[in-house]
Chains A and B, each alone.
Chain A
Amino acid sequence: MYARIYVFRFPKETSDKPIICKLVKEYDVEFNILKATILPQHEGLMVIELMGHKKNVRNALDYLKTFGVIIEPLSTIIRRDEDKCFQCGACTGICPTKALFIDRPSMAVLFDPDKCNGCGLCVTVCPVRAMEVSLLQSVSTLP
Chain B
Amino acid sequence: MGNWKVQKTYEEINARIKSGEAVVVTAEEMVAIVRENGPEEAARKVDVVTTGTFSPMCSSGAFINFGQSNPTIKATKVWLNGIPAYAGLAAVDVYLGAAELPEDDPLNKVFPGEFRYGGGHVLEDLLAGKKILLKATAYGTDCYPNKAIEKEITLEDLPYALLMNPRNCYQNYNCAINLSEKTIYTYMGTLRPNGKNANFCSAGELSPLMNDPLYKTIGLGTRIFLAGGIGYVGWHGTQHNPAALRLENSTPKRPAGTMMVYGDMKHMKARWLKGISMQGYGATVAVGIGVPIPILNEEMAGFTGVSDEELVTQIVDYSYDYSHGVARNYGEVTYAQLKSGSIEVNGNEVPTAPLSSVVRAREIANTLKEWIEKRDFTLVEPVQTLPDK
Contacts and interface: CB of A to CB of B under 8 A. Distances in A.
Contacts of A128: 274-277, 286
B139 to A, nearest CB: 39
A86 B359 CA distance: 8
B353 interface: yes
A68 interface: no
Contacts of A117: none
Contacts, number: 79
B361 to A, nearest CB: 9
Contacts of A88: 54-55, 286, 354-357
Which of A94, A104, A109, A125 counts the most B-chain CB atoms under 10 A from its CB? A94
A41 interface: no
B54 A86 contact: yes
Interface residues of A, number: 22
B197 interface: yes
Contact of A90 (B339, B341, B353): B353
Interface in B271-303: 274-279, 286
Given A104-B339, A109-B359, A93 B352 contact: yes
Nearest to A127: B276
Contact of B353 (A84, A89, A129): A89
A119 interface: no
B351 interface: yes
Nearest to A107: B358
A125 B339 contact: no
B340 A104 contact: yes
A94 B192 contact: yes
Which of A93, A124, A125 counts the most B-chain CB atoms under 10 A from its CB? A93
Interface in B308-327: none
B116 interface: yes
Contacts of A105: 339
Contacts of B305: none
A124 B355 CA distance: 14
Interface in B74-91: none
Nearest to B350: A93
B352 A108 contact: no
Interface in A107-143: 107-109, 124-125, 127-129
Contacts of A84: 274
Contact of A108 (B114, B277, B286, B359): B359
A46 interface: no
Nearest to A95: B353
B257 interface: no
A90 B189 contact: yes
Contacts of B286: 86, 88, 127-128
A94 B354 CA distance: 11
B359 A127 contact: no
Top 6 A-B pairs ranked by shortest CB distance?
Answer: A93-B353, A107-B358, A127-B276, A89-B354, A87-B359, A93-B197
29 contacts: A84-B274, A86-B274, A86-B357, A86-B359, A86-B360, A87-B357, A87-B358, A87-B359, A89-B355, A90-B190, A90-B354, A92-B353, A93-B189, A93-B190, A93-B199, A93-B352, A94-B197, A94-B353, A107-B358, A109-B357, A124-B112, A124-B114, A125-B189, A125-B190, A125-B279, A127-B276, A128-B276, A128-B286, A129-B277
